[in-house]
């Protein structure tokens, strides 16, 4: 694929969801032409993968800032001295469920959820640990026109209560966990976003919901809302909308939370797994 910078090599994945990008050393400052190319590719493919990127934390932060300003990451303690970096670490002897083991779009319960999440592999276990992504754009496109008209004006209710609330899964957790999770009454609050979100760059519409953080639909009873959401969740995770990312050491991926949801697969008990994560600030969903 031709790019304005003439150095990027881009291999799109099937169905135009995700792409492998090579020809770059992300440890070095990027020219304005390269940054513009990456912004365009990220908007087009939603998930970008970069292999062989042995970045220091300083370099990871610098690359993140080339994409946009840091986002807000609540309810998880950041690395010491690194307020914008989360270490997703699971020791070989941990029994707690792996972090991220549920379909979600990062921090969608915030008024301004992050536009991008960047995740880099430091230690990759020999088995398991894949990350799955679901394409909310094509999932929306394939709905009937009748259902689209029904969904268009709806607002979905988002909350962190199921995860980080006072009665959430982390509050009830009994197994030791290396990552420090912060349970808070603040997480019990809820707000609404459009159920169908319009991408601010491409103008494409996508389903903006997830089983972890979407708890209802405004103006509907719980049963009515859950009936619609259950159907849409099952629709979104059909194989034709999924990209399965297999990690290699020193790989980095960045994804668009505005039109995707993702799921962190386990299956690596007995092995160390270490990832470093940053987010880029977004806008109020519209």
Contact present, 187 and 164 (Cβ < 8 Å): yes
Under 8 Å CB-to-CB from 145, ≥6 apart: which residues?
none
Residue 2, pLDDT score: 42
What is the pLDDT, as a whole number, of residue 14? 87
What is the structure's pLDDT at 133?
98
Residue 99 contacts residue 277 (beta carbons within 8 Å): no
The pLDDT value given to residue 3: 46
* pLDDT value, residue 7: 81
The structural domains of the chain, ordered by start, are 9-280 (3.60.130.10)
Query: What is the block-wise mean pLDDT of the chain (286 residues), using blocks of 10 residues?
Result: 65 95 96 95 98 97 98 96 97 95 97 98 97 98 98 98 95 93 96 98 98 98 98 98 97 98 97 98 98
The count of other CB atoms within 10 Å of the CB of residue 221 is 10
pTM to 2 decimals?
0.95
Q: What is the pLDDT of residue 1?
A: 44
pLDDT given at position 6 = 59
- Does the CA dihedral 266-271-274-275 come out positive or negative? negative
Beta-sheet strands, E only, within the chain: 9-12, 19-22, 47-50, 86-90, 116-123, 131-135, 155-159, 190-194, 196-198, 205-207, 214-217, 242-245, 252-256, 260-264, 273-280
**Residue 104 · residue 261 · CB < 8 Å:** yes
């Amino acid at each position: 694929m031709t790019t304005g910078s003439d150095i990027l090599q881009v291999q799109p994945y099937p169905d135009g969801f995700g792409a492998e990008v090579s020809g770059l050393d992300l440890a070095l400052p990027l020219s304005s032409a390269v940054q513009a190319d990456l912004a365009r590719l990220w908007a087009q493919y939603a998930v970008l993968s970069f292999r062989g990127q042995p970045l220091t934390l300083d370099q990871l932060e610098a690359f993140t800032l080339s994409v946009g300003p840091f986002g807000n990451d609540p309810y998880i303690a950041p690395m010491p001295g690194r307020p914008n970096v989360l270490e997703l670490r699971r020791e070989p002897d941990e029994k707690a469920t792996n972090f991220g083991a549920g379909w979600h779009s990062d921090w969608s319960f915030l008024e301004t959820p992050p536009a991008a999440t960047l995740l880099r592999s430091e230690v990759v276990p020999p088995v398991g640990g894949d990350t799955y992504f679901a394409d909310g754009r094509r999932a929306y496109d394939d709905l009937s026109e009748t259902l689209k008209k029904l969904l268009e004006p709806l607002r979905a209710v988002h909350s962190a209560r199921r995860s980080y609330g006072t009665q959430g899964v982390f509050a009830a957790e009994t197994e030791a966990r290396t990552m420090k999770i912060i349970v808070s009454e603040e997480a019990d609050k809820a707000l609404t976003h459009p159920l169908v979100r319009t991408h601010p760059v491409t103008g494409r519409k996508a389903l903006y919901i997830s089983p972890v953080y979407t708890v209802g639909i405004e103006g509907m009873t719980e049963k009515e809302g859950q009936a619609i959401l259950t159907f849409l969740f099952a629709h979104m995770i059909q194989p034709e909308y999924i990209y399965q990312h297999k990690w290699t050491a020193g790989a980095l991926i960045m994804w668009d939370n505005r039109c995707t949801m993702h799921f962190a697969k386990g299956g690596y008990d007995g092995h160390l797994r270490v990832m470093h994560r940053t987010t880029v600030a977004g806008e109020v969903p519209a």
